[in-house]
Structure 1
Amino acid sequence: MPFLNRIQRWAEERPHDTAVVVAGRRLSWADLRQSAAALVPHTKSVTTLCEANSVEFAARFAAAVAGGRQCAVLDPAWPIQLQEDIRRRVEASAQPAAVSPDDELADGAPEAAFLVGLTSGTTSVPKAFTRSRRSWQESFEASIEFFGLHQDDVTLAPGPLAASLNLYALAECLYAGSEFQTLENFDVGDVHAAITHDHVTRLVLVPTMLRMLSERGLAGCVDASGVRTIICAGSKLDARTLEAARRWAPNATIFEYYGASELSFVSGAGLPARQLAVLGGTGIGRAFPGVKVRILDDSGQPLPEGEAGNICVRSAMVSNGYLWGDDGQALNSFDGWYTVGDQGYLAEGELHILGRRSDMILTSGKNVYPHEVELALAAVPGVSAAVAAGMPDDLRGQRVVAGVLPSHGALTATQLRAGLEDILPRDKRPLQYYLLSELPVTERGKVSRNLLLEWIGSRDRRVRALDA
């Protein structure tokens, strides 16, 4: 069961307690059950839910997965033509069980698919995969144990519910019987107000949001001492974000984890309150409860500790596979060990993430992953963010270059080289540094290493070579 039977339970046991709050609008457990149950008779076997954050979203999502129904959640920011294309594909590809207007608000068969997940995309059609109710129940049990979610927690996930991170947080809280909050749109002031007035104890968000909230919270003296848990996903936390979050929310355990939509949770680590982090490393903690991790080569053979290869997992949380978009590379299986192609290694039981193989830089016969260079640079004092890439080189094949965005004041190449002395091996250090006035990001807001190389090649005004 994902969470509908749990909603029934909480509505019976605690009907007037708060279940969901969106932008100040509140639904109790009894309200949520009543609203969702009233929608079930009018909900088709396959739903494509595409709307902004609201309390109605929570009720419609619950109704859309009742019984044998299946639901795909689309991003309302996607172009209309793309939304319509996905709707047609979902309706043509999904294979729901028989449904009836007389169905109750109850979970369907555990092994049956109930959710059509979509990879992010704005210009090309996203890949679509399915998840079973059982896989989400296993995920709930693992994440509740790992992150320590309690019924007295108030969780705020301030991003769009169309994003898998926030949709999962909503469903996880419904399963656990814990209050869930979000906003109509992300706004730093509104998040700070919720933390201050609604006694938020738990934040679920991406690193960029955490950084803004922490830095502006410190500047505005916003008290976050009541926050007990911060859960970050999307990328490993850089040094400046971690330091600001630790100062702003001194009593919070800060969690970061590695996972993928198709794999669910893989590994994670929690930095307890007031404990300092080891900066610049690629480690992302140990395997989640119920998950086994191996590093395998391209033929599926195990690699020794410390040697990089495909991060492969075996767990009950893995998705069923793709409805469409499977190119044979996105989700591979080696005799039941699944991988999405991310590269990494194990050291003393901890998983280290290096990134996608397609990003790898081959320089003088050595493999260098930009991700580990960027993490190391982000730990250097004075660096706000960094982007590393491989530039063609007649002698080496490629050479490592890096663009850095300063946090304050001036930076020199000498400072950067000295800062990397103890945290990055010599053969992985950049040979050339560039000062950035802004990060090279795509129209979709993602940092682009290729765009950095374009800026360097065209001598763009936003990038300037740093001398020693």
Structure 2
Amino acid sequence: MPVAHRVARTAAGPEADLPAFVMDHDVLTHRQLAARAAAVAAGLRAAVPARRRDWLADGARLLAVATGNDPCFAELLIGATAADGACAVLDPQWGHRQTEAVLDRLRPDLLVVPDGREDLRGVAEALGVPVLTADGRPDGYGAWRDAHSPADPARRLTAGEGTSAFLVGFTSGTTGVPKAFRRTRGSWRTSLSLGRSVPGMGADRATLAPGPLAHGLSLYALAECLSAGVAFHGLRAFGPAAFTERLAAGGVRRLVVAPTMLTALCAAAGGRRFPGVDTVVTGAAKLPPSLLPDLAKVLPDARITEYYGASELGFITVRELGGVRDATRAAASGAADGRPGGLDVGVPFPGVELQVRDGPRGTVLPPGGTGTVHVRTPLRCDGYLWDDDEGYRVDGAWATVGDMGRLGADGHLHLVGRGEMVISGGLNVYPSEVEQALAGLPQIEQAVVTSVPDGYLGRVLVAVVTGPGAAGLTQARLLDLCRPSLARYKVPRRVYTLDRWPLTSSGKIARGVIDRWIADGDARLVPLPSGDDRGTG
């Protein structure tokens, strides 16, 4: 972690005995966290041989952590990334084959797995990777750490070089094997510094990030808290009841959440209000405007900041919605997304520059032109360790992940697609544009739009929607409702609703599962009736 030295500094100051890392009911103070992290750093240096890697400093160790949201996560991360060491954060929700493929490519110097996951231990041992289990057994992680205690945080938790890699993160791969990217300390140090000027983005108050620490949303929130010396709160496993009860216990003023988590909170609140929460930071997906009225009841005093980013690029834009009541009124008046169409994701994050370029020629387009979003940023990753993705391209100081968008005259970026344009009947359609239009209807709260092959048109759009009036819609009625915002050819030919969205471990809608259900004709998808004989042709 590029903030290991800050952890040592906080542990030596007046806040040493205040909570630093809280996972459910397990609490580590700043002093305890620093002491444990220092022992991890000492143990890695003294007892773990280092493989040579051309992207790590000589002698630096790579620790892989697959514990998920365990109380030991923070100490492992901090200890592993002290000085010029590095940490790979593996997702314990991966399947056996994914984990095996990642470990085979990565070959970390040491792996820590959660209790009860002997399958992960077996995979690692078969590959010759040393492994510890996070439990109380004599040969487990706790005993290993204690064998290297006490260790001096001031000596062990030192700052590494800004150009050195400290983190191996993962994003989805086209082959099914997660792609591994590496981040330098300098990129996160710059991000943390610039973020302090954005309302909500600086962790100056106790923060709850209830999602998986294996994903960037919660992991970065942890870095913010450690850098600022304030308490980080997490949940071992996200659930609406656990989320609600944690807020009811008090002590948390800032939330860092995916929009689906806020939807779950509103559904589970049961009339309870949490006025102690004054800041909400949301990312990973667009916050549905239809959620704001319910959110205003549950978090009446919160101010909302949402951001758009990418694993490879870091923060790209930020949008301040202001107080939740003001944001609700703005959404109701139709002012929430402004012009010139597409999802308004705000203005460039501090230190970030944007260009929209014409795809075939690479010409920089004027405001209002739709093209590929390019970013010049000090926050981008340092490249992939394997399987470079065509979606992430670098052109000198500029880079892109292939997202499509427009820049407004006011500097706001409007996304119109995530690089997945559909050609239907010879016409170009961006599914995210259709999703935005559907989610803007009062009957619909969330929408996922995809496409399927069609013998006549090539491909046709298919939507899955939920919301207070989704089940009562017909295809014909949906066409009428979409007329003000969508051309007729952009209205999905088939529309389904369902009782519950399938979610990824990070709280996003599992789009791959939706695609599979559509292809398989899964009974969990309920088709909307046609309503009359007009169709949507």
User: Under a length normalisation based on structure 1, what TM-score does the superposition of the two structures give?
Assistant: 0.89
Match of 1:10 in 2: 10
Match of 1:253 in 2: 303
CA pair 296-452 structure 1, distance change in 2 beyond 3 A: farther
Match of 2:535 in 1: none
Q: CA deviation at 1:176?
A: 1.5
Correspondence for 2:266 among 214, 217, 220: 214
SS in structure 1 at match of 2:463: strand
CA pair 198-403 structure 1, distance change in 2 beyond 3 A: closer
- CA distance in 2 between partners of 1:92 and 1:49 (Å): 10
Correspondence for 1:83 among 82, 87, 99: 99
Match of 2:139 in 1: none
Contact in 2 for aligned 1:19/1:32 (Cα 8 Å):
yes
Letter in 2 for 1:446: A
Letter in 2 for 1:192: T
- Gap runs ≥5 in structure 2: 49-60, 111-150, 533-537
Letter in 1 for 2:444: V
- CA distance in 2 between partners of 1:200 and 1:443 (Å): 25
Contact in 2 for aligned 1:400/1:432 (Cα 8 Å):
yes
- CA distance in 2 between partners of 1:364 and 1:143 (Å): 44
Match of 2:200 in 1: 148
Q: CA deviation at 1:366?
A: 3.3
Structural mapping, 1:417-432, within 5 Å: 417-422=479-484, 424-427=485-488, 429-430=490-491, 432=493
Match of 1:463 in 2: 527
Contact in 2 for aligned 1:78/1:122 (Cα 8 Å):
no
CA pair 192-123 structure 1, distance change in 2 beyond 3 A: farther
Match of 1:62 in 2: 78
1:11-61 Cα distance to aligned partner (Å, 9 max, x none): 122212221111121111111111111221112411111103133111111
1:196-235 Cα distance to aligned partner (Å, 9 max, x none): 2232111111121110102221xx1222222111122221
1:100-149 Cα distance to aligned partner (Å, 9 max, x none): x9961112111111111111469822111111100010111233322435
Match of 1:303 in 2: 365
Moved more, 85-94 or 133-142: 85-94
- CA distance in 2 between partners of 1:279 and 1:421 (Å): 19
Match of 2:519 in 1: 454
Match of 2:138 in 1: none
Match of 1:98 in 2: none
- CA distance in 2 between partners of 1:92 and 1:37 (Å): 20
Letter in 1 for 2:106: V
Q: CA deviation at 1:279?
A: 5.2
The total of aligned residue pairs comes to: 457
- CA distance in 1 between partners of 2:73 and 2:405 (Å): 38
Q: What CA RMSD, in Å, does the superposition of the two structures yield over aligned residues?
A: 2.9
Q: CA deviation at 1:437?
A: 3.3
CA pair 148-239 structure 1, distance change in 2 beyond 3 A: closer
Match of 2:385 in 1: 323
Match of 2:53 in 1: none
SS in structure 1 at match of 2:166: strand
- CA distance in 2 between partners of 1:428 and 1:2 (Å): 50
Q: CA deviation at 1:64?
A: 0.5
The runs of 4+ residues in structure 1 deviating greater than 6 Å are 458-461
Structural mapping, 1:434-453, within 5 Å: 434-438=495-499, 446-448=510-512, 450-451=515-516
- CA distance in 2 between partners of 1:429 and 1:79 (Å): 36
1:338-362 Cα distance to aligned partner (Å, 9 max, x none): 00111111112111112233x3122
Structural mapping, 1:323-362, within 5 Å: 323-327=385-389, 329-348=390-409, 349-357=411-419, 359-362=420-423
Match of 2:160 in 1: 108
Contact in 1 for aligned 2:479/2:488 (Cα 8 Å):
no
- Percent identity over the alignment is 35
Match of 1:39 in 2: 40
Letter in 2 for 1:372: E
Contact in 2 for aligned 1:126/1:325 (Cα 8 Å):
no
SS in structure 1 at match of 2:197: helix
Contact in 2 for aligned 1:420/1:429 (Cα 8 Å):
no
CA pair 350-215 structure 1, distance change in 2 beyond 3 A: same
Match of 1:378 in 2: 439
Q: CA deviation at 1:295?
A: 0.8
- CA distance in 1 between partners of 2:292 and 2:37 (Å): 39
CA pair 24-120 structure 1, distance change in 2 beyond 3 A: farther
Structural mapping, 1:121-136, within 5 Å: 124-136=176-188
Correspondence for 1:366 among 416, 427, 431: 427
User: Under a length normalisation based on structure 2, what TM-score does the superposition of the two structures give?
Assistant: 0.78
- CA distance in 1 between partners of 2:97 and 2:243 (Å): 33
- CA distance in 2 between partners of 1:296 and 1:383 (Å): 33
1:184 aligns with 2:236: yes
Match of 2:449 in 1: 388
- CA distance in 2 between partners of 1:389 and 1:82 (Å): 25
